Structure 1
Amino acid sequence: MLDTLRNAWKIEDLRKKLLFTFFILMLTRIGSQIPVPFLDPSALTSMVSSTGGIFSYLDMLTGGAFSRSTLFALSISPYITASIVIQLLTVAIPYLENLAKEGEEGKRRINKITRYTTLALAFLQAFAYTMLLNNQGAIQSFEGWQYYFARIIIILCFTAGAMLIVFMGERIDAKGIGNGISMILFIGIVSRGGAVINTMIAYLKLAVEGATYYFFAVPFVIVLFLAVIAFIIVMTNAERRIPVQYAKRIVGRKQYGGQSTFIPIKVNMSGVLPIIFASTLLAIPTTIKGFVQISDTSFFGKFLNLFNYNTIWYGLLYFFLIMGFSYFYVAIQYNPIEISNNIRKNSGTVPGIRPGKPTSDYIAKIVSKTTFLGGLFLSVIAVAPIGVGALTRMNISLGGTSVIIVVGVALDMVRQLESQMMMRHYKGFLE
């Protein structure tokens, strides 16, 4: 990876793109430090650290901007939600499905619909966030028209910050390197690395003061963290290849086909979306508990406490929900019948499998197996920090979801740099 960055830096065009991307990412971090007027974020900071759930998840995505109630407190969470909603509706609504098949023009119109959906969701999240801040006593007290004016300004600031983040991401897509939204998510998670290092240093100080247990726990967590990164890299690049043989065709004096190729089926086809779906669903009870004051001794209080992050019930539900969402997402994105028909239309066959339904059944069987492995991989990575935290009695700040996102974005950026360098060093047929 370092060699790729070093070689890309030597090319002027790629160097400009890297600098532009770095500049935009720095702007996002500056915006994450700009406070929103009329707010005292100390109340929300303490609530996020004590409650967890969806609030800790949002704080992770925003690089700490959520708990500090800054301009970019919502970050890209409205855009992620809007993208998932539009992606699911593309399968259910014929109009969106037709747009998805119209090439670049259809993609442009879908992106426009996604932006409008992002604006609506950003406004709704900003309104809910403002109400939460109001319940926590984090908004300065005013009377009369100033009371409503302060809350309107806060809502507009959060909404504008979310849309500005989307605009910056699109600028990276146009003039930078990598996927803009993914890069902003990447830098937000990486920015928490300093806090993780400080936490490890604090545990080592406890070990020096007499808690010798941490002399073994801290190195164990570091080695496990490096092993998880290696495992994620292997599973992200892993794929199952289905061989396809195309028949020879003679048209005039030219011969077409006759070559052997394969259909790559990635083990982790759904990325981190099943984790996002599962964590969002499990965070609903915690969110309700954050907005409504419920006694821990009541029936509803005890029921909601089952969904606390550090309980075994949360880990089990998290595991099975990720597995279920992995199958669900692959089912709506991957159509074995359509793939089988495309192979047959191009005079291709899978060796040893008859064309038509046997081919689609064979592809469906392979997809089911790879989906199981991919879902199991995501479930283990997502649930492991809960078990490791309970075993080592340490607060694992960077969970499996964060590591998957960081590694995936880094690998994607390296692949884009390598492809662009290959285009610039391509030797023509005259050389």
Structure 2
Amino acid sequence: MFSAFAKVFKTPDLRKKLFFTLGIIVLYRIGTHVPIPGVDYRSVQACVDAATSGNNGLLGLVNAFSGGALLQITVFALGILPYITASIILQLLTVVIPRLESLKKEGAAGQGKITQYTRYLTVALAVLQGTGLVTTARTGALFPNCPTAASVVPDTSIFVTVTMVLSITTGTACVMWFGELITERGIGNGMSILIFISIASTLPAALWAVKQQGTIADGWLVFGIIILVGIAMVGLVVFVEQAQRRVPVQYAKRMVGRKLYGGTATYIPLKVNQAGVVPVIFASSLLYIPALIAQFSHSKAGWATWIQNNLVKGDHPFYVLIYFLLIVFFSFFYVSITFNPEEVAGNIRQAGGFIPGIRAGSPTAQYLSYVLNRLTWPGSLYLGLIALVPTVAFASFGGANQLTGTSILIIVSVGLETVKQINSQIEQHNYEGFLR
């Protein structure tokens, strides 16, 4: 990894891309500390400590995705989460709506149209979530443990409320633009890099908060244990994310004119965690909806109280069970819509290839489905365990909201993908092997 970054600085084009990416990251981090109009900044800062010590569930996870900007009610309070949700929704609708499926098959032009739809949906979700954030801030529900939560938004007029929602929506559109700029003119994977920066920026403060608890000896002991557990989890995530099942494919020899082509052997790489972190993010977004609806309820209704007690706290058994089942379900669902065994089998057959011991056509598709299902089961269980076990284990440590398996999973996955992206761009500029 370090050698790859050293080669980047030696290549002028890649060096410009890296500095451009760093500049966008600096602008993004500045935006996470700029409060929106209509918010009493002193009251927010007074309530942030109490909120971070009490939110180790959904709100803590969403706050980590925004780089800590959500609880501070800044311009980039929603972060990149609306864009992620919109992208996942569009991918799911591609299977249901024939028009979107046809656009997906049209290549770059169709993908550009889908990207445009994703932007529109992102803005709509930003308006909805921004309205929910402003409403919870006005009612004091955003900081339930703070006695001065009602003074966070001193002016509750319609004009100020609309201005706050527009500011949050504009900030979300700006974050989306930053991600696209990194993808087009930077080192790539713009949205993933912004998520990486958001989560990584909250880790030092979370670790320091854990260390400050209890006596000096106990604080350092807990701090050391968490560091060791984190290192072990990083190793586990790297091992599973790099693990893959290679399905061999043999291509028969063919005569094209007077030349003989084919006869090569390759493989289809099927990852153990084929779905990545998408099931975890989508399960979190889905669980956040009833919690958001319950916060809109001004009355102490029975259903709202039940949601607050069972679907908000990260260490509640019912929350853990629902979250785990949703992760497993969306793992299978996402893999089924992103990998089509029949399409892959058809492409292999058209290219004159076959899997040794398996007939071409329908038997190949059935074999690929069988292998994929057997890989998805351990992959989905791994996602569920890595997302929940550290969350439950760290539930007793205040300030450890960002020390979740989801955060570590996203950081490691994005780090691996970024290094691969940099290596691929380095290879494009390295022609020494061809010249020799």
Whether TM-score is above 0.5 comes out as yes
1:117 and 2:142 equivalent?
A: no
**Could you tell me which residue of structure 1 aligns to residue 205 of structure 2?**
195
Distance 1:87 1:21, change over 3 A: same
CA deviations on 1:24-65 (whole Å, 9 max, x unpaired) are 000000011111111126467455653554322221111111
Map 1:112-261 to 2 at 5 A: 112-136=116-140, 137=150, 138-141=152-155, 147-203=157-213, 206-208=214-216, 214=219, 216-261=221-266
Quote how far apart the aligned CAs of 1:160 are. Answer: 0.7
Distance 1:129 1:214, change over 3 A: closer
Quote how far apart the aligned CAs of 1:371 are. Answer: 0.6
Can you give the 5+ residue segments of structure 1 that lack an aligned partner in the other structure?
none
Distance 1:18 1:163, change over 3 A: same
Quote how far apart the aligned CAs of 1:150 are. Answer: 1.0
1:417 and 2:422 equivalent?
A: yes
1:266 and 2:271 equivalent?
A: yes
Distance 1:50 1:288, change over 3 A: farther
Matches of 2:434 and 2:205, distance apart in 1: 53
**Could you tell me which residue of structure 1 aligns to residue 35 of structure 2?**
35
Identity among equivalent pairs (%): 40
- In structure 2, which of residues 318, 333, 341 is the aligned counterpart of residue 336 of structure 1? 341
CA deviations on 1:348-397 (whole Å, 9 max, x unpaired) are 11111122222211111100011112111111110111332257788353
Q: Is the 8 A contact 1:91 1:97 kept in 2?
A: yes
Q: Which has the higher contact order (CA 8 A, sep 6+)?
A: 2
Q: Is the 8 A contact 1:51 1:286 kept in 2?
A: no
Matches of 2:434 and 2:208, distance apart in 1: 56
Structure 2 length normalisation: TM-score?
Answer: 0.90
CA deviations on 1:218-269 (whole Å, 9 max, x unpaired) are 3222111001111111111111110011111001111111111111111111
**Could you tell me which residue of structure 1 aligns to residue 410 of structure 2?**
405
SS at match of 1:268: coil
Quote how far apart the aligned CAs of 1:83 are. Answer: 0.7
**Could you tell me which residue of structure 2 aligns to residue 90 of structure 1?**
94
CA deviations on 1:57-91 (whole Å, 9 max, x unpaired) are 22111111110011111111111111111111111
Quote how far apart the aligned CAs of 1:126 are. Answer: 1.7
Structure 1 length normalisation: TM-score?
Answer: 0.91
**Could you tell me which residue of structure 2 aligns to residue 11 of structure 1?**
11
Quote how far apart the aligned CAs of 1:2 are. Answer: 1.8
Q: 377-386 vs 38-47, which deviates more?
A: 38-47
Quote how far apart the aligned CAs of 1:271 are. Answer: 1.0
Can you give the 5+ residue segments of structure 2 that lack an aligned partner in the other structure?
141-149
Q: Is the 8 A contact 1:54 1:284 kept in 2?
A: no
**Could you tell me which residue of structure 2 aligns to residue 64 of structure 1?**
68
CA deviations on 1:161-186 (whole Å, 9 max, x unpaired) are 01011111111112111211111111
Matches of 1:327 and 1:62, distance apart in 2: 27
Matches of 1:80 and 1:34, distance apart in 2: 23
Matches of 1:95 and 1:313, distance apart in 2: 39
Matches of 2:295 and 2:435, distance apart in 1: 68
Quote how far apart the aligned CAs of 1:339 are. Answer: 1.5
